[in-house]
Amino acid sequence: MTPPTPAPSRTHPATLRWVLLGALAVFALFLVACDDDDDPGGTATATQGTASPTPTEGDEDPDGTPTGPSGADAFTTPEPGEGPRSGGEIGQPASEDDIAAIDIDVVPGGAGLPEGSGTVAEGADVYATNCARCHGPSGTEGGIGPQIVGEEGPWEPGKTITIGSYWPYAETVYDYIRRAMPFDSPGSLTDDEVYAVVAWLLAEEGIIEEDAELNAETLPAVEMPNRNNFLPCWPDECRPDVP
């Protein structure tokens, strides 16, 4: 009869735990020995337990360089004209040409309008080339940008906000388009092109005639339908009934 095969021996969990702890202890001793080899004289400052004295004002570093003030005294406010940003070290003064290039605001009444002119017919081409891709072929469709024509003013709740229904001044239509449109290349239109596209937009809204031409004299004369819905006063003066 064949004798039974003995069952494989198993290491008790407690025994395995002690073996692992012993291995970790040996590894730790090895690291200490390596550290001693790097500092054979036993002079490693990390094990000395002695802190270096804190330098005070008037002391010298080992190389003989005087130390500066410490603590709150180390942070002082420079006098006017001192410091890293004084004396024009960063940037440069803006020239008159630099300022003129961005000083292009146009306000109600026409102040700031440039020379030049544009017709409704010319504006149709400007719109198709630069504006239709965002606002739609006729401006009534919208898309990436909002619908901008196709709603009569004055505006009231429930109506779509468009140039004709909401905008109070034709001059600021010019100002906005000149500095901010087209969205992907603002400022790229010439002054004449801005006059022309504003003329086309206003004609589409029925505010000016189809054969109109806009310039610095005729644009301020345009009466926007929603003008009187914008009040040039504080609410307590214009609407005393509103708390």
Read off the pLDDT band of 46 (50, 70, 90). very low
Q: Is residue 203 part of a domain?
A: yes
Element housing 117 (H / E): strand 117-119
Please tell me the predicted confidence (pLDDT) of residue 60: 53
Q: Is residue 221 part of a domain?
A: yes
Q: Is residue 202 part of a domain?
A: yes
- Which residue would you say has higher pLDDT here, 70 or 197? 197
Between the alpha carbon of residue 203 and those of residues 55, 124, 181, the distances in Å are 79, 10, 19
CA neighbor of 151 nearest in space, from 191, 109, 202, 205: 205
- Which residue would you say has higher pLDDT here, 207 or 68? 207
Read off the pLDDT band of 230 (50, 70, 90). confident
Residue 239 has pLDDT above 50, yes or no: yes
Residue 192 has pLDDT above 70, yes or no: yes
Q: Is residue 22 part of a domain?
A: no
Which two tokens mark 125? 């081409």
Number of structural domains found in the chain: 1
Q: Is residue 227 part of a domain?
A: yes
What is the span of the domain harbouring residue 216? 114-235
Q: Is residue 46 part of a domain?
A: no
Q: Mean pLDDT across the stretch 84-94?
A: 69
Q: Is residue 200 part of a domain?
A: yes
pLDDT in tens, 90-119: 888 999 999 988 889 999 999 999 999 999
What is the CATH number for 212?
Answer: 1.10.760.10
Q: Is residue 218 part of a domain?
A: yes
Q: Report helix, strand or coil for 119.
A: strand
Please tell me the predicted confidence (pLDDT) of residue 101: 84
Residue 58 has pLDDT above 80, yes or no: no
Residue 21 has pLDDT above 90, yes or no: no
Q: How many CA atoms lie less than 13 Å away from 206 in the CB half-sphere?
A: 7
User: What percent of the chain lies above the pLDDT cut of 70?
Assistant: 60
Q: Mean pLDDT across the stretch 57-75?
A: 54
